[in-house]
Each structure stands twice: as structure tokens, then as C-alpha cells.
A and B are shown apart, each in its own frame.
Chain A
């Protein structure tokens, strides 16, 4: 793992943190979008390292957290059908729908499987032609190419018992929503490096021009994030607003063309509801009509359930960066990862869960 060790080097990290503290003339409010980045910041205590020099707020970039309740309920309805095998990434199984979660459906006899790759689901469909294999396809622009490839692969092989329950979300429309909010206080963004590896940096140029906000494409290791924060602070201190790329070892300006082509062949942009935030225009992907035969929403009669988030939950304000998880009165008491009230506590990469998992010892000290 030498490749990762360099990006976790404590000497380099401390040096970057010292430089950020030195250069920062006021506590700039910065947001990382991706839940994986939130996870790293909390795990390594980077907020502790930076002190008052910047204020880190955490964005809506955990796909598990923002998947709407009714989509979870649809997955649960599918998993309860005797003829369906529901295949999913592992961390979706624990996410509560309005009444239950997929782990409980599995215990009741539902056929629910965990895979690491959607192509495993296609393989499963080939080996079990009598079953209807539905892959629960959630994620940002990062997972969409693999899901598109799975559909194209199934089409090429003539696999007819494979479909997607697709609920993809897109990052730039979410940033636009954040910046358009009258309560916005975010002054700079760390864009998710894996998303930009796929889609490139072009869409972020539009945001920078429109809102004059600096955006740095960042990686996922502590040194990556500290470097991205330093680049943001430099831009802010110098009065610049540009797209800069910290994650050069992975991200190219144009992104990954073959991956983009696969997504464009299979999916089209649609409006999408985000759990905890609400509907955002043109912020999701759905299967094109041409691939309706692979669209579980169209193949199965899925009743839509509208569920209300608990009133005490401030997830919308957390996901929009207005408040920190620890500002919530329910944090760590009435809302824990075991019994989450709302979206950011459900997945380990949600902002509330990351604070709970790694940082609550400092909260309890602060609260006395």
C-alpha cells in the first residue's frame, strides 16, 4: 500500500495544516461534497488539525443518505416478491424505509444479495434464468457507468431477467441548489474526485462563472483533502474563483469519454427527489425508453409511498451546510446509527453518522 501511505503521511499533513492556518485570515466556510471525503475528514480528525482557520461543512454527497424513502420502499416491495432476487451494494441494506429495511425483509424470506459489482448481478441473472434479478442501482456519476455497462452487457448477451431499480443523482445540480439558497454560507467547494474522473471538470466551470465560487477537485486521502483545502484558501485569500484540480493522478479535464458514452447511451437526465432536501430539477438519471425492458420501475407495479421525515430531524439544513450535525438536539440521543431519524445518520458516510462514529467524544467534552 505504498501508493496510499504517501497520502497519509503525517509530516506532510501537519505541514499543509500549518500552512492553511497561517494563510487563512478568517474562518472560510468550505464544503466537501462527497461522503467519502467527509468520512476521511472525521476519521483523521482534520477538523481538529485545522482549528479555527476554516470551517468545514459537509455536503449531500452520500448516495445512501439522499436516496428517497419511496425508492427504498420500492426496493423493499421488490425484495418481498417471490419471483425477484434483489441485488444491492451492502450499505443499502441497513437503510430504513418507511416501515422496515432490506435486512429485515431478508430475514422474512426475501431473496436479497450483496455484490460489489453490478456485473455480478448480470452473472447471477444468467445462472438463474427462472428468477427476476433486480439490481438496486444508486449512486452519483461514479456508479452510473458501471450500471450502464451492466445493462449494455445484459443486452448483448440477451439476458432478459435482469433489470435496474435506478436512482442516480448528479452533483452539479445539487451545488447549484446550495448556492442559490438565500441562506447559503459556503464560500468554497471541494468537488468529488471520483465523480470528476468520470465527467471531467467542464460542468464545474459553469458554476464558478455563475456564482464566482472557487471549486477544487479533491481526492479522498487526508493529504489530498488538506491540499484541496489549502488551494481553496489561497483562492479565497487572493480573491480568485476558479476550478482547480488537486486530484491530478486521477482526474483529466475531459473526464472518461468511454464511461460518459456508456451513461449517455443508457440513461437520460431527469428531475430527482433527494432525501432530506426535496426535489431538484435535472438532478438525476433514469433509463431511456430504449432500455425500458431493463427498468424495474416500468417492469413491476411499484406503488409509491410518500413518507414524511421526522420533524425533529434537521437533515436538510445539515445537507445544505447551514448547520452541523452536532447542532441537532437529537444528535447522539434520539438519533443514532442504530435508530436514525434522518438521512445523514443512516449510512456510515453520512455527515451525522461520521460525527457520531468518530467525533462524539469531543462533542461530549464540549457539552461538558
Chain B
């Protein structure tokens, strides 16, 4: 994924707003970031603050036709081949959590950003920033896990780099991975391609990763059996694209959760979305943890789920394609793309009423009461 990576020492790769550049000015406050402002944790949350950084800092300096697409991956041509390139940094804390660790996450996250572009992942790089004093055994565990994840996925790590910084200059261990893949012939996926009438599909239960991470956080001990869903999704994408090619857009709803991803797609495609609350798969344990912590599962990070926007006529084929794969067995149609309320995601509640599912300004914050 280009440019903005995760800043908060929290979860995972980060979906930044990927609206077309022409829309960015309309996204939020029209004023440029004032001089003297500082980076806040919210600038890494994948919400509106992240979009401001893109608009005010990165695109003016670095913009070019490929970068300006602001997809999860850049698609470039090399001879007859179309290559997908993506990069992502991983700063998750704690390093090890139920269902994964920073090493496997760094492999899965980058593979997933390639897969969401319809690409078959080919190669990965891995760069490490290590804090002075980090136990060698910790590094060994992380690297072993990376190796296992890459081998399982069949995507080798072919180059790397290591830097060590003074104690206090980094929080034990950060990893950057870059990936290169080949886009399948005839496949063209983009957040700007959603059309009224399309259906919205998720590949399984939402919020598992974010809750598994929160459960391990200092000061937040609560008992849960929730396991991170961290997984490489490229074979699931292959199964989906085998079932139908009428897929408009694929995204993995990582930081900022489903709501941020859908708001981005709605913005890029200039369409509205209507979700059906009762059809959104969320585990009982995740709902319970969210209740306790004052969070909304739609904003909680996932690391092994995808959202697909699919033409209505191919919705059942896509659903069957996903459900036939172990990582997609709980896939569900959760809503549809509408002409009404463009750029707005609206949810139909079990009471038959409607409410907005908004993009967050920054991180979701626990409430007082």
C-alpha cells in the first residue's frame, strides 16, 4: 500500500482514504495543515486525518499518475505484464498475540494488499528496525514465524535489510515488507468501480483481530477466546475470481474496519451504500468485548477478511466461490450499492430504521460511560 503506514503502536496495515485526487479537496477541512502542527496518533488511523496528510503533504510532493490512483497497491506495466507493487510497515504491540505475531502479520498484510489488486503475489522483501537491547530470541521467533507464513503462502522473501536504533528510538521491533505480484489477465479492480445495484460481500466474521490485540494490551486484561484472523488471502481471491470475473473491487478492511473501507469505496465511486445490520457477521465474543469496551465492531481491524463489491447478477456465484474456501466459509452478503445518498454508508437496523455508518476522524476511543 502506498505512502501512509501505520503510526500508532497498535495493529496492522492501514487503509488510508483512497478517493480519487479530485475528491480529496472535498473530503474535509479545506484549510491546509497549519505550520507548527504535529503528527497525532490519529494521523495513522486510516480516517480523515490520514486523508489530510495525503492531500496536504504526500500528494503535492510525490504525486504522479500511478500514485494518484491511491489504491492499496500500485499497478504498473512492464512489457505485456501488469505488475502490482505494495509496501507496508508493521508496528503492532504486543509483538505476539493470540492467533499470530508481527512476523506473520507482516507477510500476510503485504500479500493481501497485492491480492486485493487481483494480483498473484510473487516476491516479498523484509526490512527490520530493531531497538537496541531487543532479545535475540524474540527476533528469532519473529523471523521463524515470517518464514513459516511465507512458506505456507508460497511467496518467498527474496531481499531484506536490518537497522538498529538506540534504546528508546523504536518500540522493540518494526518490520516493513514490500511485495511484487502479477495482475491476472483481464482483471481490473478499483475502488472507483462500484455501481448502483452491486452487492457488498464480506468473507467472514468481523473484528477478530482488533479484539484479540486489545485483549493483550497492558491495562486491558479481559478474558476472551477471540483469535486474530491474520491470514494470507490470495488463494481466497483466486477462488473468488475463478467463480466470477464480475468483481468490481476488493479490499481488506484492516485498520478503521469495515466502515472505513466502505466509506472509501463509496467516496471513490460516488455511490451510496446500504447495509443490513442483521446480516453482518460478528462473533458473540467480539460483540461482547466491544460492548464492554465501548467500541463498534464495524470500526475494529481485521487481518484476514476481504470486502468484495460484485455485480448483482454474479452475487451468488461470488458467494459460493468464497464459501467453498476455508477462509471464506462464513462469507455473507451484507448490503448493496445505491444511487441514493452518494458517498454515504447507511445501515438498516433490525428495527427497520436507518442510521449512518460514518468514517472516524481518528481512532475509536473508549467512552466514559
Contacts and interface: CB of A to CB of B under 8 A. Distances in A.
Given A1-B284, A338-B29, A10 B351 contact: yes
Interface in A335-362: 337-339, 347-349, 357-362
A1 B285 CA distance: 8
B346 A361 contact: yes
A311 interface: no
B82 to A, nearest CB: 38
A36 B369 CA distance: 7
Per DSSP, are chain B's interface residues mostly helix, strand or loop, or mixed? loop
Contact of A104 (B40, B349, B351): B40
A359 B356 contact: yes
Interface string B257-284: 0000000000000000000000000001
Nearest to B289: A1
A198 to B, nearest CB: 11
A339 B362 CA distance: 13
B77 interface: no
Interface string B202-220: 0000000000000000011
Contacts of A90: 365-367
Interface in B95-121: none
A1 B291 contact: yes
Nearest to A47: B353
Contacts of A8: 350
Interface in A28-70: 34-36, 42-46, 48-49, 63-64
Contacts of A348: 365, 367
Contacts of A114: 365-366
A260 interface: no
The contact size tier of chain B is 20 to 34
A114 B366 CA distance: 9
B358 A357 contact: yes
Contact of B351 (A49, A92, A138, A337): A49
A13 interface: yes
Residue in A1, A35, A42, A92 whose Cβ sees the most chain B Cβ within 10 Å: A1
A358 B369 contact: no
A46 B358 CA distance: 19
Contact of B349 (A17, A44, A140, A360): A44
B351 A42 contact: no
Interface residues of A, number: 54
Given A1-B284, A1-B287, A10 B354 contact: no
Nearest to B355: A358
B215 to A, nearest CB: 13
A79 to B, nearest CB: 14
Interface in A143-174: 143
A360 B356 contact: yes
Given A1-B288, A44-B353, A48-B353, A349 B367 contact: yes
Interface in A70-112: 89-94, 103-104, 106-108
A137 B139 CA distance: 41
B28 A139 contact: no
B235 to A, nearest CB: 33
Contacts of B39: 107
B344 interface: yes
Contacts of B29: 338-339
Contacts of B42: 103
Nearest to B31: A339
Nearest to A360: B356
A120 B344 contact: no
A306 interface: no
B355 A138 contact: no
A170 B369 CA distance: 14
A115 interface: yes
Contacts of B48: 338
B352 A14 contact: yes
B361 interface: yes
Residue in B219, B361, B369 whose Cβ sees the most chain A Cβ within 10 Å: B369
5 contacts: A337-B361, A357-B358, A361-B341, A361-B346, A364-B341
Interface of B: 28-29, 38-42, 48, 219-220, 284, 287-288, 291, 293, 341, 344, 346, 349-356, 358, 361-362, 365-369
Interface of A: 1, 4, 8, 10, 13-14, 17, 34-36, 42-46, 48-49, 63-64, 89-94, 103-104, 106-108, 114-116, 120, 138-140, 142-143, 194, 222, 337-339, 347-349, 357-362, 364
The 10 lowest CB-CB distance pairs between A and B, nearest first, are A45-B353, A90-B365, A10-B350, A358-B355, A90-B366, A107-B38, A48-B353, A89-B368, A91-B365, A338-B361
